[in-house]
Amino acid sequence: MLFLLSLSCLVGLYHTYSAQQSLVPETIQTTPCGDANMDGSVNVLDIITMVNYIMGSNPTPFSFAAADINASGAVDVLDIISVINMIMQVPGLPCPCTPTVTDVDGNVYQTVKIGEQCWMKENLRTGAMINSNAGGQQQTDNGVLEKYCYNNLMANCAAYGGLYEWREAMKYSETIGAQGICPAGWHIPKDTEWTMLFNYLGGAEIAGGKMKLAGTSQWNAPNTGATNQSNFTALPSGLRSMWAGSFTGMNTNAYYLSSTLTFQDKAWSRGLYHNYELVDRGNIESSFGQAVRCIKDQTGIILPSVRTLPASGITATSATLGGLITDDGGTVIIERGIYWGTTTSPQFGGMKVPVGSGGGAFSVVISGLLPSKIYNFITYATNSAGTTFGHVETFTSAAGPDGCNTLTDIDGNVYNAVLIGSQCWMKENLKTTSYKNGSPIPYPGTNNTVWQNTTSGAYAWYENNIAWKDLYGALYNWYAVNSTFGLCPIGWHMPSATEWDQLSDFVGGAGGAGGKLKSLRTTPAEHPRWQSPNVGASDQYGFSALAGGCRENAGPFSYIGYTGYWWTSTEHFSPFSWARTMQYDRIGVDPLGINRKVGLSVRCLKDITLPSVTTSGVSDITSSAATAGGNVTSDGGAVVTARGICYNTDPNPTTANTTVLSGSGNGSFTANLTGLNAGTTYNVRAYATNSAGTAYGDNLQFTTNTSNFSCGTSVITDIDGNLYNTVLIGNQCWMKENLKTTRFSDGSPIEYPGNNTSLWSGTTSGAYAWFDNDISWKDVYGALYNWYAVKSFDGLCPEGWHIPINEELNELDEYLGGSSVAGGKLKSTRKQPEPHPRWDLPNTGASNSSGFTGYPGGYRHNDGRYLNLGYSANWWSATMTSATIARYLNLGVDYVNSFRGTRDKATGFSVRCLRD
């Protein structure tokens, strides 16, 4: 809605008319700020003046036709309704009753209504200007609101607004009752409020064009996509960098603060660019200076805000992941949780794990991780306005017994190691005094003449002081690096220039790799450490690079704490070889050709060979499917990035043939082969891939059955002779009706307690019930089984079928678009007043697009009561969480979600079987 009608005399007219005709949306609100007469009426000329003021005489000045004005000077209700509807179609109008807003310094700003939000259409410029000098943060907690002006020119603040550090902006806005940096009744937008703006404008991919001032008078060419359709009028105000206090980006970029922190010292920011029409979302250090656009306070429900917390309790196979609800958006959080996986955007293709509801902190332990592997996870939170996400966090699982863990050199020095991508690096500098074969490495000591004249291997301690050994390691000339005796420990080698580049590329490119690889230790910390400011250091991957300096080819020592130098095994041109450097005042990793007589640090890299993998066998063979397995027994010194089964009708298939991926890492695995031809002989081999290549297990053969079962058209029969239709959903074949057998698949009877509630609640063996103990419900909703029947060794489902485990229910949800929408796709569309089976009203979101045809068979409580027929559908999974609790799938009459919950095993739920 782009306009909220403001004339008091139109309030009654609108409500009277809409009540009769419902031609105007009921969401229109009214605020008495118009030019009303004493009797509450408004003259026609006042209406015309108001309309032209709001519309800015765009596209042409408005006036009522003479025929619309009656003898008394009034206009008809229908004519006023037409005016309302016309005004509502004009984009980018000022905010109703608030066409301008004034800050505490008296600066006046135009406003704009975009969707349901009211924004300032100019950048904030309140506060006292301070100069930006080298040395980092300048805005301080001195009781005075301060701003930067681009290039320290006040004229730029007047034209483009001020640039504010997050902490400076927020310290005036966090105290309850404080005025805040924004005008009264306004605030710095939350991350979710920015998201609402972009969603209203069609998504972040195109919203930037609709927000940028058109033309190239202020934005540099090409100003891609700029239309300013929203009238937001974004200007390229640039950025004040925390590094050396410099400014960048005026006329090319605009950066806007949000009030939402991602993690310590970083907050969500939005960026617009002259050569894109998108809006970029990033987390920027809070001491960068950015523009501020204030948004008007509003009541009602908005999207929630959630922060992702760092992983904890990390082992080789599990970790604790969680988040914090920082704002519920004005209503209850109905679902929260995490997505996790190996993809950089785990919300797309990762594993979803709901973690209850409500506000505050939450966490969950995930398992099934692979050793020494990098994982990403992101939090989410859902309220009635929708779902939002936190930021992505990364962690590396602990090393397994044979993983990238520790190593020992010939002298007995022990080093920690770290897996970065597919490479296993020492995370400390080498300090051996002997070659790999035990031969001593020469030590010239203080004899600079010997050091500068040798063309064989030599090492030094910085300043010839062995006290530096355990802090920064040794400094080796390149002749030691290249010695045929071998400098690195057995199973490790000197990295080439290409392997160093592979490391830099994995962490985002050489231009920023140094920041991600440098240790966080900085002055005034004791050695080992970097000299301040240690620009950009985050040690994101645990490489922990330190500035060990060098020994120059003439013998002197220099740059400890300032520069780290590391040899590669790659020659440049005589007498130089390639090295890599990181510096205290730069964020990059720089290649440098250095004289081979210079002493530099060394990091060794683990050798890599092909992995070892075996083919385990083939089972569960049908006419169109089979299950094959394998086991990765060795990763070859690098992480196994892909493993699985390849198959073909010809022997010795490779990954060039049909493959089924089954994760990554070491250990055993299985893969489901589907879409096979009946009565056909196939060859299978397990495979495993690391950075050295792909290895294969032995070739095995199997032949599919000749049965012609076709999911979706074929029916199945249980032990009692009941028939069930089937439906194919993704790769899963489901019964599309609830189970109603009274016998296990081996023919033994299932206990029927009937109306004996004590027997029902007290049994720990399999039992079933008809709803209300009335067998007439059998063919309508099927039977209700306790979980002991579900997991009976006698088998509840027909042969070749099984009760789904929780992971298979997750697969169903994900195939249907995620649990937030899957419920509607699983529910039957039948509802009151249709006869049973059907849902009560409203049956929210039901489409049955999956063909699953879920009906609300209710349940039998563990105390024997029957509940929720027509209201909820509940199906057991085969997954238990404790001795008395198991998991189940739930659909409800008034929501579109698919929920996963836990319940006492004595509860009676419906059952749907899944084909093996």
Sign of CA dihedral 198, 199, 200, 205: positive
Task: Report pLDDT for 400.
Answer: 58
Q: Which of 419, 440, 430, 408 is nearest to 476 (CA)?
A: 430
| pLDDT beyond 80 at 58 | no
Q: Strand (E) positions, 368-465? A: 374-383, 386-389, 393-396, 406-408, 414-420, 423-426, 459-460
CB within 8 Å of 746: residues ≥ 6 apart: 719, 794, 795
Higher confidence at residue 697 or residue 635?
697
Q: pLDDT tens digits, residue range 145-195?
A: 889 999 999 999 999 999 998 877 876 444 333 447 899 889 999 888 998
Task: Report pLDDT for 390.
Answer: 86
Task: Report pLDDT for 853.
Answer: 93
Task: Report pLDDT for 412.
Answer: 95
Sign of CA dihedral 564, 569, 574, 578: negative
Indicate the range of 71-85, 110-124, 310-324, 551-565 predicted with least confidence. 71-85
pLDDT band at 600 (very low <50, low <70, confident <90, very high): very high
Token pair, residue 523, equals 């002055």
Average per-residue pLDDT in the chain?
84
Q: At what angle do helices 819-826 and 806-815 cross, to 10 degrees?
A: 90
Give buried/exposed letters for 689-720 (b at 16+ CB in 10 A, else e).
Answer: bbbbebbbbeebebebeeeebeeeeeebebbe
Q: pLDDT tens digits, residue range 420-452?
A: 877 889 999 999 999 999 999 999 999 999 999
| pLDDT beyond 70 at 232 | yes
Token pair, residue 348, equals 């797309």
pLDDT band at 395 (very low <50, low <70, confident <90, very high): confident
Task: Report pLDDT for 70.
Answer: 61
Higher confidence at residue 133 or residue 566?
566
Give buried/exposed letters for 771-792 (b at 16+ CB in 10 A, else e).
Answer: bebeeebeebbbbbbbbbbbbb
Q: Which of 236, 212, 242, 237 is nearest to 224 (CA)?
A: 212
